[in-house]
């Protein structure tokens, strides 16, 4: 087992849920994070929050004791990707993303991470959860279906040094069958029963995704837009606990 991956494995179901702070307001993000403490220990900072506020919001969240999933999906030439990863690693992030199709750029990002902070995992983003089944062939003219494209991108990213992958819940079983237990699987598109799917297309319940082999579940609106975010978070904890 890779030491970086091993350091991120969690047995506490509360640490297996990453709450997405999908807002452009740092104040809103910090208020939500504060309402979720101490049960929630892992939050996601994506493009919306980071572009609006920069590294300062990451530093504030880290100072509150949160582990950070910085989801910026870098995709560029290798030198630029290595430089981008080097720039964010001092922010004490635990997970960060690159596009799995960046080829040598994935390797450059992974090498930069290992040289600065071996506790940070590089995740390759495969096919976005907003893409419906069949979108791969429609958009790219590929004969591969969505699952096969996720597998191809996943194998490429892992071969380049990525520690894990971001994929939809629909691909977890095949990824585990084909790639084994080692890669970290960080899974968005999580919707508790009765929740609106919104712009997500390939979704599953928290219990199903965890039972299929996810390491972390990324949950946004079902928690952040709930009347009581903490209660919504704890309901998901209770749902996944039997599978952890």
Question: What is the H or E stretch that residue 177 is in?
Answer: helix 172-179
Active site residue 60: no
pLDDT of residue 9: 85
pLDDT of residue 134: 63
pLDDT of residue 202: 66
**In whole angstroms, what is the distance from residue 125 CA to residue 110 CA?**
14
pLDDT of residue 59: 95
Place of tokens 């999933």: 69
pLDDT of residue 133: 62
pLDDT of residue 138: 63
- Among 44, 60, 73, 170, the one annotated catalytic: 73
Q: Is 161 left (phi over 0), alpha (psi -120 to 50) or beta?
A: left
CB atoms within 10 A of CB 59: 13
**Domains located in the chain, CATH noted:** 3-243 (3.20.20.70)
Place of tokens 């965890």: 210
Report the Cα 219 to chain-centroid distance in Å. 10
pLDDT of residue 31: 97
Going by C-beta distance under 8 Å and a sequence separation of 6 or more, which residues neighbour residue 244?
11, 12, 13, 16, 210
> One digit per residue, pLDDT tens: the chain, 244 residues?
578 888 888 889 999 999 999 999 999 999 999 999 999 999 999 999 999 999 999 999 999 999 999 999 999 999 999 999 999 888 889 999 999 989 899 999 999 998 777 778 999 999 877 666 666 666 666 666 788 889 999 999 999 999 999 999 999 999 999 999 999 999 998 988 656 555 555 678 999 999 999 999 999 999 999 999 999 999 999 999 998 8
| pTM metric for this prediction | 0.91
């Amino acid at each position: 087992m890779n030491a970086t991956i091993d350091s991120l494995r969690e047995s506490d179901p509360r640490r297996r849920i990453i709450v997405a702070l999908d807002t452009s307001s740092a104040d809103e993000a910090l208020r939500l994070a504060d309402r979720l403490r101490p049960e929630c220990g892992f939050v996601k900072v994506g493009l919306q929050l980071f572009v609006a506020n920069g590294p300062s919001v990451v530093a504030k969240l880290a100072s509150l004791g949160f582990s950070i999933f910085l989801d910026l999906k870098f995709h560029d030439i290798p030198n630029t990707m290595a430089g981008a990863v080097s720039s964010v690693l001092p922010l004490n992030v635990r997970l960060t993303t690159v596009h799995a199709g960046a080829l040598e750029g994935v390797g450059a990002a992974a090498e930069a991470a290992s040289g600065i902070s071996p506790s940070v995992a590089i995740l390759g983003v495969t096919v976005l959860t907003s893409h419906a089944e069949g979108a791969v062939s429609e958009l790219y003219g590929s004969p591969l279906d969505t699952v096969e494209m996720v597998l191809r991108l996943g194998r490429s990213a892992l071969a380049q040094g990525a520690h894990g992958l971001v994929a939809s819940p629909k691909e977890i079983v095949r990824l585990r069958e084909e790639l084994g237990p080692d890669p970290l699987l960080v899974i968005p598109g999580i919707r508790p029963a009765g929740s609106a799917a919104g712009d997500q297309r390939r979704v599953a319940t928290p219990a199903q995704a965890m039972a299929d082999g996810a390491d972390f579940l990324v949950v946004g609106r079902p928690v952040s837009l709930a009347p009581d975010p903490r209660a919504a978070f704890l309901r998901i904890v209770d749902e996944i606990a039997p599978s952890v």
